[in-house]
Amino acid sequence: MALGSPALANAPSVSLRPQARSAAAALGGKAPLPAPEALFSSSGLSGQLGYAVADLQSGRIVESLDGRTPLPPASVAKAVTALYALDALGAEHRFQTRLIATGPISNGVLQGDLVLAGGGDPTLGTDNLAALARALKQAGVREMRGDFIAWDGALPYVGSIDPDQPDHVGYSPSVSGLALNFNRVHFEWKRAGQGYALTMDARSDSLRPEVASARMRLANRDLPVYSYADRDGIDDWSVAASALGNSGARWLPVRNSATYAGDVFRTLARSQGIVLKAPKPTRGSLPGGTVIAQHYSDPLGRILRDMLHFSTNITAEMVGLAATVARGGSPRDLAASGRAMSSWAATRLGIGSADLVDHSGLGDRSRMTAEDLALALAQVHRQGLLRPILKDFALRDDRGRVMKNTPVQVAAKTGTLNFVSGLGGYVATPGGRDLAFAIFVADTDQRDRIARDEREAPRGARSWNGKAKRLQQALIERWVAAYGG
The average pLDDT across 304-318 equals 98
pLDDT score for 400: 84
The average pLDDT across 82-110 equals 97
Q: CA–CA separation, 333 vs 112, rounded Å? A: 33
The average pLDDT across 66-95 equals 98
Query: Does residue 47 surpass a pLDDT of 60?
Result: yes
Q: CA–CA separation, 37 vs 1, rounded Å? A: 9
pLDDT score for 18: 29
pLDDT score for 485: 63
Q: CA–CA separation, 179 vs 388, rounded Å? A: 27
The mean-pLDDT minimum among 150-159, 370-379, 424-433 falls in 424-433
Query: Does residue 37 surpass a pLDDT of 50?
Result: yes
Beta bridge partners of 271: none
Query: Does residue 26 surpass a pLDDT of 80?
Result: no
Percent of the chain with pLDDT over 70: 93
Domains identified in the chain and CATH numbers: 2-90+301-483 (3.40.710.10), 96-296 (3.50.80.20)
Q: Which of 182, 453, 441, 225 is nearest to 318 (CA)?
A: 182
pLDDT score for 338: 98
Query: Does residue 22 surpass a pLDDT of 60?
Result: no
Residue 406's pLDDT band (boundaries 50, 70, 90)?
Answer: confident
Task: Find out whether the peptide bond into 224 is cis, omega within 30 degrees of 0.
Answer: yes
pLDDT score for 404: 86
The average pLDDT across 307-318 equals 98
Beta bridge partners of 238: 217, 227
Query: Does residue 3 surpass a pLDDT of 60?
Result: no
| Contact yes or no for 393/409 (Cβ under 8 A) | no
pLDDT score for 31: 63
Residue 328's pLDDT band (boundaries 50, 70, 90)?
Answer: very high
Question: What is the overall mean pLDDT for the chain?
Answer: 92
Residue-wise pLDDT for 153-200, tens only, equals: 999 999 999 999 999 999 999 999 999 999 999 999 999 988 999 999
Residue 399's pLDDT band (boundaries 50, 70, 90)?
Answer: confident
Query: Does residue 23 surpass a pLDDT of 60?
Result: no
The model's pTM: 0.92
Percent of the chain with pLDDT over 90: 88
The average pLDDT across 233-247 equals 96
The average pLDDT across 455-473 equals 96
pLDDT score for 30: 54
Residue-wise pLDDT for 270-310, tens only, equals: 999 999 999 999 999 999 999 999 999 999 999 999 999 99
The average pLDDT across 364-388 equals 96
Residue 405's pLDDT band (boundaries 50, 70, 90)?
Answer: confident
* Amino acid symbol at 58: S
pLDDT score for 60: 96
Residue-wise pLDDT for 192-221, tens only, equals: 988 999 999 999 999 999 999 999 999 999
Query: Does residue 21 surpass a pLDDT of 90?
Result: no
Count of Cβ atoms closer than 10 Å to residue 443 Cβ: 20
Query: Does residue 16 surpass a pLDDT of 50?
Result: no
End-to-end CA distance of the chain: 24
